[in-house]
């Protein structure tokens, strides 16, 4: 399955370090490493780091310690601590060569050293969880990632993973899709039996719970099981699984309403009981316990929330916009700071018109449904954010 990565702020991947100690650090942390950083943020790691190096070098030994040029203050501190532990600092001879470096990943501050003496090689690593108060306002580099899930000629309203299968909701049916060596293909389908007449822009949503699932449509709720694959529908309205309180979509309508009468089309969780909703006429509206207020940003028809992504102090949201190409939309990335939406530069063009953008219940991903008019098909994408510092 191919993965399309679109940079939201110019992110196209990170290079692995070339120093041996840094390579060991990258493998140990299982994270994309950042370039070497100044010494000050790592001085508190020096005592434990020096103890680990001394234990690897051995008592009353000699060592030549080398850090990157920008970490000379840290090097001097480690050499001082090694001397206090009986390790002499010399160059040449039979001295152990210690190649060291400190940096950060998304979770930790890390110091790693490769220690060589003849053919013997050892690696020591000291880590400490990041203190966000000491990060100095360092901003993550964020990218929107799109992973294709499934495509078909018929209209598609939503898709959801059900174990190793996919459920695909269309206006007239729910299909079960397998993805194996033969490719993604529908292996079973059940009709949506209802007396309702769908509105012009019919919308639908899936919710999966173990081996069971529900399908929500305007004035219709369907319930089914994956194995055996079965479906039963009833002409009844229920709240849709959006997170924001709603009464579902009434027959012949395509919008939701909160208990206090606010009409909206999609909603993005921001955390802390706050939401960003697409109101009437595409107005982005901030919703919280104190009421509603207009969000100072361009209008949008679709929005999804990523409240806990990229270890940030402010949540991210993705909204749509018209792309420069005919019959194409784009995704834009924002940070929500207080009551403001701060647009991040760049956007990601979709291969068609965005017809739905559903946030995942946990808020870390979304599902985008795109209608490619030129190719004559609908395609579903898994939307997530990738982060680096």
Least confident of 5-9, 37-41, 222-226, 374-378: 5-9
CA dist 150 and 25 (Å) reads 38
Q: Is the pLDDT of residue 312 over 70?
A: no
- Cβ(320)–Cβ(329) under 8 Å? yes
Q: Where are the domains of the chain?
A: 11-134, 141-202+239-388
Confidence of residue 135 (pLDDT cuts 50, 70, 90): low
Q: Which of 163, 187, 147, 209 is nearest to 368 (CA)?
A: 147
- Residue 76 three-state SS: helix
The confidence band for 104, taking pLDDT boundaries of 50, 70 and 90, is confident
Q: How many residues does the chain have?
A: 389
Which residues, including other chains, have CB under 8 Å from residue 118's CB and lie 6 or more apart?
none
pLDDT at position 25, please? 37
For the record, the structure tokens of 374 come out as: 């030129």
pLDDT confidence tier of residue 93, bands split at 50, 70 and 90:
confident
Residues forming a β-bridge with 318? 304, 333
pLDDT, residue 381, reads 96
> Rounded distance, CA 80 to CA 351, Å?
59
Alpha-carbon distance 261 to 316, whole Å? 27
Whether the pLDDT of residue 208 is over 60: the answer is yes
Between CA 73 and CA 224 the distance in angstroms is 64
**27 — pLDDT class (breaks 50, 70, 90):** very low
DSSP of 267-328, one letter per residue? EEEEETTEEEEEEGGG-EEEEETTEEEE-SS---S-EEEETTGGG-SS-EEEEEEE-SSTT-
Among the residue ranges 3-17, 238-252, 294-308, 355-369, the one predicted with the least confidence is 3-17
Does the pLDDT value for residue 37 go beyond 60? no
pLDDT in tens, 58-72: 888 999 999 988 788
How far is the C-alpha of 358 from the C-alpha of 336, rounded, in Å?
A: 19
* pLDDT greater than 80 at residue 119: yes
Decide which of 333 and 22 is more confident.
333
Q: What is the pLDDT of residue 19?
A: 36
For the entire predicted model, the pTM comes to 0.65
Strands 263-271 and 173-180: unpaired
Cβ atoms within 10 A of the Cβ of 114, count? 21
Distances (CA, A) of 24 to 21, 114, 277, 378: 5, 8, 45, 44
- Check whether 241 has a pLDDT greater than 70: yes
Cα-based distances in Å from 55 to 35, 82, 118, 139, 206: 27, 10, 17, 37, 57
């Amino acid at each position: 399955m191919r993965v399309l990565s679109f940079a939201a702020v110019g992110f196209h991947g990170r290079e692995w370090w070339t120093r041996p100690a840094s390579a060991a650090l990258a493998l140990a942390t299982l994270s994309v490493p950042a370039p070497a950083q100044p010494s000050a943020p790592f001085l508190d790691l020096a005592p434990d780091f020096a103890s680990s190096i001394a234990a690897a070098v051995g008592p009353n030994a000699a060592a030549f310690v080398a850090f990157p040029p920008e970490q000379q203050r840290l090097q001097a501190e480690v050499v001082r601590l090694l001397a206090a532990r009986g390790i002499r600092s010399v160059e040449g001879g039979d001295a152990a060569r210690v190649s060291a470096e400190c940096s950060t990943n998304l979770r930790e501050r890390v110091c790693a050293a490769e220690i060589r003496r003849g053919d013997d090689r050892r690696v020591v690593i000291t880590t400490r969880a990041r203190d966000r108060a000491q990060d100095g306002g360092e901003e993550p580099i964020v990218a929107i990632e799109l992973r294709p899930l499934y495509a078909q000629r018929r209209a598609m309203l939503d898709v959801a993973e059900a174990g190793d299968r996919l459920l695909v909701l269309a206006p007239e049916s729910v299909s079960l899709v397998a993805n194996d060596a033969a490719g993604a293909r529908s292996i079973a389908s059940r009709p949506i039996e209802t007396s309702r007449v769908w509105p012009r822009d019919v919308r639908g949503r899936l919710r999966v719970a173990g081996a069971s699932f529900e399908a929500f449509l305007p004035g219709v709720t369907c319930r089914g099981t994956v194995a055996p694959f079965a479906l039963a529908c009833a002409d009844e309205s229920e709240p849709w699984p959006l997170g924001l309180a709603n009464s579902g979509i009434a027959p012949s309508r395509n919008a939701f309403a909160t208990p206090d009468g606010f009409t909206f089309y999609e909603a993005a969780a921001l955390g802390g009981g706050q939401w960003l909703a697409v109101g009437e006429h595409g107005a982005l509206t901030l919703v919280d316990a104190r009421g509603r207020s207009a969000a100072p940003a361009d209008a949008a028809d679709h929005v999804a929330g990523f409240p806990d992504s990229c270890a940030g102090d402010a949540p991210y949201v993705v909204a749509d916009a018209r792309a420069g190409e005919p019959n194409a939309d784009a995704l834009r990335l924002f940070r929500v700071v207080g009551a403001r939406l701060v647009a991040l530069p760049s956007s990601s063009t979709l291969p068609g018109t965005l017809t739905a953008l559903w946030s995942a219940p946990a808020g870390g991903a979304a599902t985008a449904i795109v209608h490619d008019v030129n190719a004559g098909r609908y395609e579903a994408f898994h939307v997530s954010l990738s982060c680096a510092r």
